Amino acid sequence: MADTSAAPQQLLTVADFAGKIFIDGAWVPGAGGTLPSTAPATGEVLAEIGIASPDDVHRAAVSASHAQREWAALPHPQRAAVLRRAGALWEQHAEEISGWNIREVGAIPPLAGFALHVSAAECYEAASLPSAPLGAMLSSEEPRLSLAEQVPVGVVGVISPFNVPLILGIRAVAPALALGNAVLLKPDPRTTITGGVAMVRIFEEAGLPKGLLQLVPGGAEVGEALVTEPLVRVIAFTGSTRAGRSVGELAGKHLKRAHLELGGNSAFIVREDADVDQAVNLATWGAFLHQGQICMTVGRHIVHESRFEEYVAKLAAKADSMVVGDPAAGQAHLGPLIDETQRDRVHGLVEAAIAAGATLAAGGSYDGLFYRPTVLANPPRDTAAYCDEVFGPVASVVSYATDDEAVELASDTEFGLSLGIVSADALGALALARRIPTGIVHINDQTVNDEANAPFGGVGASGTGSRHGGVAANIDAFTETRWITMRREPGQYPL
């Protein structure tokens, strides 16, 4: 019997992709030059990555549009098989890709493992899309068949961020491919290996025909070229609200759809009847996981006044007990922030809140890119650390007296992504949640949750609604609706 326990062959060989982008099935030098991929925990240069130019984007789009026609025409089991093989490959190469995620992104091992789990799940879920019902029979007042058919859009542009690059890329790449499209992927230059190279290699090994997934890393110039490229008909963007507004405006000017998954400042309501220890356990994960660099992170902790002092004290004690360090070197609860710019922004928000009257209950300091988990009690509600997205390990805690006040506090934001409520009365908490506009609600749980088959998206400044997760959302996101009628004989008209 063959030995199936051997480790899989290495997927990511630096010599193969160093200084290159991926166009038309080949690793080629990018016309935009190169940039170092640097481990934020140590400053080590992991590899040089290639940077695309606007001309590279156009070249990739032309190649993708040609490849897409044959791909869409394939029998649906063939497309589904590629997605299933991709799911299995994520699992087979989980250890290797997790290692890159830990070093390049600064993810702690549990988060890196979760990202691999979700990446595989996204591919398995997407494998069901090619055989899903892609249309409907319509009633007609004429003697004819009337149909609505969902057809591939053609070429999809996917722009993914640095923080969780695997999940935030694959959740658009996999369903777009499954539904018969080609994809141009632009990951953040800081995490191109994890969020781009790994994805390309997985689909290469899965047998995806060349030209269907192209890698065009780069900065704002490349992103603009992707949005304005006429052959790219849909943009799936995940990133900051500020950048998302620009992407949406530019896409609208060019009459193309943009699915925007943007920032958040999620509220976490602890009701009077909540168990404080349970609430703090949830809040610790929701506020400090991945150094707070998650769009769903708990930003605003809204705690009943009878539980407020105990909650602050216990959350601060938990924060003080947490280990911050290099996740590749040993056990750490928090790894590094992505770079000095982000660290300085986070620290500036914390210092401004303290100067405005907030009480520093824990943290507020850093060593290099390692920022201590921070608890701010009673920050003024107009301070940026409370009302804006921090994208760092900062928990702002305020109190409330009545349910009406809790609703007012939770709703007093431009964001509307995720909401968590802790209460002994789950139905009462649900009634409260229905008064607060968000795209996601978790009762007796924290705000950071993700499943491949669940709709995901926010309202307001958090984005344009659920365009990821689940059959209906994905079909809506990555197909166009076409009306078709058929008559037995040509119709007769009076003119």
In this structure, are residues 332 and 371 in contact, taking their beta carbons and an 8 Å threshold?
no
Residue 331 in tokens: 């056990």
**Helical (H) or strand (E) element with 24:** none
Give the three-state DSSP class for 157.
strand
Residue 375, φ and ψ in degrees, nearest 5: -120, 120
Reference 83, options 22, 132, 42; nearest CA is: 132
Give catalytic status of residue 480 as yes or no.
no
Active-site residue (options: 123, 229, 295, 389): 295
Residue 101 in tokens: 């995620």
In this structure, are residues 191 and 165 in contact, taking their beta carbons and an 8 Å threshold?
yes
Residue 63, φ and ψ in degrees, nearest 5: -60, -45
Give the three-state DSSP class for 152.
strand
Give catalytic status of residue 261 as yes or no.
yes
Place of tokens 């080590």: 44
The residue ranges of DSSP E strands in 328-439, in sequence order, are 359-362, 366-367, 370-371, 374-377, 394-400, 415-416, 418-422
In this structure, are residues 195 and 104 in contact, taking their beta carbons and an 8 Å threshold?
no
Beta bridge partners of 151: 480
Cα separation values, 308 from 302, 314, 398, Å: 9, 10, 8
Give the three-state DSSP class for 260.
strand
In this structure, are residues 341 and 435 in contact, taking their beta carbons and an 8 Å threshold?
no
Question: 9 Cβ partners below 8 Å, 6+ apart?
Answer: none
On the CB side of 347, CA atoms within 13 Å amount to 16
The crossing angle, in degrees rounded to 10, of helices 76-92 and 165-178 is 160
* Rounded to 5°, angle at Cα 283 from 282 and 287: 130
Cα separation values, 366 from 159, 344, 352, 410, Å: 31, 10, 16, 29
Alpha helices in 137-294 (DSSP H): 165-178, 192, 198-205, 220-228, 241-253, 276-288
Burial class (CB in 10 A: 0-12, 13-18, 19+), 389: buried
Active-site residue (options: 261, 272, 405, 480): 261
Question: Which residues are designated catalytic?
Answer: 261, 295
